[in-house]
């Protein structure tokens, strides 16, 4: 009986250990989850040098399909191992941007410029066998009949890629999105205000309302079901640049009303530097616009109390006050009509 009991206990213990090992995040990788910046880069060295890491990550992911921080980081690291060139090129693009920005900053700090560039990078691989090309034959036929021809209007689909190339393109683009996610989680703070605001916009473009591609929800495949929470964390971070917090605030589907309004009012009531730049101008205009749309009576009182500042700023505030009052008056009229 004792031998049988010991044997049974050994089997149970082995089963428990096996299940735990399959579901536990590899200890060698656990420290990566909390690290950011240069310390994260340093810790990555053993990931790329240890041949067993990929097996550990794959085993962990296969037994932990549900969302979690460990699963998300495991997916990022596995993508980095399988597509090192994609991650390396993404890093080069960011560094190239920063160097270019130093010399051409007045020309490149345009809303959506960096976001659009990086968004194109995540879609570089082909995801469809068919592509559209200009139909020269149709253009030639219509030219002969003297009809108005608009270039690019007449297109046709042709098969350009094989199934293998499409599969490789989809996998490559998925890895590029993981590079974006890694940068947002680990290196966002390293960029300036403009870069951080563009990264927030990029997360919104990839995993926000437009997240479905080919009928596939990217928040599921990329393990980012909490994109809204990631953006909200930037908005609520007092140490984040105001431009990044602004981008986060207007990207939220349902921002907290009081926090949202307080942030916009703080932007408006802050002193404007004598040599006001594009960033301050953009922030002020966006804050006033949001207050026009949703400012309440408290916002109205704060704006009316603003009497000091450059004349151009006071003029903008006065226009915003009139817009809010008109909106409130219209709402009162509609409410009165409903009550009758």
pLDDT at position 254 over 90: yes
Same domain, 1 and 71: yes
The reply to whether 32 falls in a domain is yes
Same domain, 216 and 329: no
The reply to whether 10 falls in a domain is yes
The reply to whether 160 falls in a domain is no
- Predicted confidence band at 175 (pLDDT cuts at 50, 70, 90)? very high
Exposed (0-12), middle (13-18) or buried (19+): which is 167, by Cβ within 10 Å?
middle
- Looking at residue 141, its pLDDT comes to 61
Neighbours of 258 (CB within 10 A): 10
Residue ranges making up the domain that contains 91: 85-122+177-251
pTM here?
A: 0.83
- Looking at residue 276, its pLDDT comes to 67
Same domain, 337 and 215: no
Number of folded domains in the chain?
3
Same domain, 5 and 107: no
- Looking at residue 271, its pLDDT comes to 81
Q: Which residue has the higher pLDDT, 63 or 181?
A: 181
pLDDT at position 115 over 80: yes
Same domain, 224 and 240: yes
Q: Of 232, 251, 270, which closes a domain? A: 251
Same domain, 220 and 96: yes
The reply to whether 136 falls in a domain is no
Q: Are 71 and 30 in contact (CB under 8 A)?
A: no
Q: Of 20, 54, 82, which closes a domain? A: 82
Q: Of 251, 269, 295, which closes a domain? A: 251
Same domain, 324 and 212: no
- Predicted confidence band at 24 (pLDDT cuts at 50, 70, 90)? low
pLDDT at position 7 over 50: no
Same domain, 205 and 243: yes
The reply to whether 137 falls in a domain is no
- Looking at residue 9, its pLDDT comes to 40
Same domain, 195 and 260: no
Condensed to tens digits (0 to 9), the pLDDT of residues 38-72 reads: 989 988 877 777 778 888 888 888 887 666 788 89
Same domain, 295 and 234: no
The reply to whether 156 falls in a domain is no
Same domain, 219 and 277: no
The reply to whether 23 falls in a domain is yes
The reply to whether 296 falls in a domain is yes
Same domain, 100 and 239: yes
- Predicted confidence band at 178 (pLDDT cuts at 50, 70, 90)? very high
């Amino acid at each position: 009986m004792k031998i049988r009991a010991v044997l049974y206990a050994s089997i149970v213990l082995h089963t428990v250990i096996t299940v735990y090992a399959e579901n536990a995040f590899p200890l060698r990788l656990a420290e990566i989850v909390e690290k950011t910046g240069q310390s994260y880069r340093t810790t990555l060295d053993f990931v790329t040098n240890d041949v067993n890491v990929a097996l550990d990550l794959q085993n962990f992911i296969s037994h932990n399909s549900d969302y979690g921080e460990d699963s998300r980081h495991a997916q990022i690291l596995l993508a980095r191992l399988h597509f090192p060139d994609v991650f390396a090129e993404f890093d080069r693009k960011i560094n190239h941007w920063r160097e270019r920005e130093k010399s051409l900053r007045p020309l490149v700090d345009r809303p959506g410029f960096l976001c659009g560039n990086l968004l194109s990078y995540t879609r570089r691989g082909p995801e469809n066998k068919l592509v559209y090309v200009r139909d020269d034959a149709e253009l030639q036929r219509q030219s002969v009949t003297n009809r108005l021809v608009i270039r690019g209007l007449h297109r046709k689909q042709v098969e350009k890629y094989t199934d293998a190339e499409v599969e490789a393109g989809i996998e490559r683009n998925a890895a590029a999105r993981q590079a974006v996610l890694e940068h947002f989680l680990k290196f966002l703070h390293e960029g300036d205000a403009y870069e951080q605001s563009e990264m927030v916009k990029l997360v919104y473009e990839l995993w926000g309302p437009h997240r479905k591609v080919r009928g596939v929800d990217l928040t599921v495949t990329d393990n980012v079901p909490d994109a809204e929470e990631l953006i909200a964390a930037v908005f609520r971070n007092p140490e984040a640049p105001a431009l990044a917090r602004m981008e986060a605030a207007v990207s939220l589907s349902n921002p907290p009303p009081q926090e949202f309004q307080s942030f916009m009012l703080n932007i408006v009531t802050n002193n404007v530097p004598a040599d006001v730049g594009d960033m301050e101008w953009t922030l002020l205009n966006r804050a006033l616009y949001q207050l026009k749309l949703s400012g309440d009576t408290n916002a109205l009182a704060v704006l009316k109390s603003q009497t000091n500042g450059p004349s151009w700023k006071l003029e903008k505030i006065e226009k915003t006050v009139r817009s809010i009052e008109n909106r409130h008056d219209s709402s009162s009229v509609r409410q009165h009509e409903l009550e009758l």
